[in-house]
Copies of this chain bind each other. A is one copy, B any other.
Amino acid sequence: MKSYQSKNKVHLAVDCIIIGFSEDKLELLCIKRDFEPFHGQWSLMGGFMTHEETLDEAAKRVLKKLTGLDDIYMEQLPAFSTIDRDPVERTVSVPYFALINSEDFKDKLIDKYSAHWFSIEELPNLIFDHSHMVAAALKRLRARTTTKPIGFELLPERFTMLQLQSLYEAILDRKLDKRNFNTKVMAMDILYRLPEKETNTSKKGSYLYRFDKDAYIQKMEEGLRFKLEFNSI
């Protein structure tokens, strides 16, 4: 039934969909390929899994090589295995999506990969089936807003309610009702309101919040006890 014939073997790759958030927009980190095929074209950051590592380890290695970052939340998406997706040799790719705070580490990017952040709304053409991988990651991210908290990885440590709402609006791709958003988000029970206010954007100032990291992690694992459904305006 099974037979270990080398003719069945394939290359197994990982590709990282690295999503950030800056100036009210979701962003995607792309690299310019400096090798064939598709030299000079935009691509996700990827690499082959070696025999000395698992898929998760390969994805972490690839992410670290590009960003210098360790210890990032990553989630595996279903594998892409169309027969001719890679014109050189049969390659199955397992996409991982990572959420990071893009502002925090813009200067840490490794120059040699010509990495660049693109707004999700203005992505360049990507090689292979990479745009389908991005679409799958965005769909997963959107679904996650209804059952799990989101934002911890994408926002600065202290943020205003408006920033959090902008993040959800960017993920869900629609404007949300402010009062309904506040109520729903506070019901998640993962936010601290800080004593200080942010006063750059309005004279009255806006309260700053931070995530209760333990509660956040717990709810990431368990899921929320209710389904979040935000009202549009």
On A, residues with C-beta under 8 Å from B are 1-4, 6-13, 35, 46-56, 65, 76, 78-79, 81-83, 88-92, 94, 113, 143, 146-147, 223-227, 229
Given A55-B81, A147-B146, A227-B224, residue A88 in contact with residue B4 (CB < 8 A): yes
Q: Interface SS of chain A: helix, strand, loop or mixed?
A: loop
CB-defined contacts of A56 to chain B, threshold 8 Å: 81
Q: Contact partner of A12 among B1, B12, B143, B226, CB < 8 A?
A: B12
B223 touches A229 (CB 8 A): no
Copies of chain A in the complex: 2
Q: How far is the CA of A229 from the CA of B76 in the complex (A)?
A: 26
* Most B-side CB within 10 Å, residue of A2, A50, A91: A2
Contact indicator B8/A146 (Cβ below 8 Å): no
User: In the complex, what's the smallest C-beta–C-beta distance from A135 to chain B, in angstroms?
Assistant: 15
Contact A49 B8 (CB under 8 A): yes
* Contact among B2, B78, B83, B113 for A53, CB-based, below 8 A: B83
Contacts beyond the supplied A4-B11, A7-B51, A12-B12: 4 A-B pairs with Cβ under 8 Å: A1-B65, A2-B46, A9-B10, A147-B227
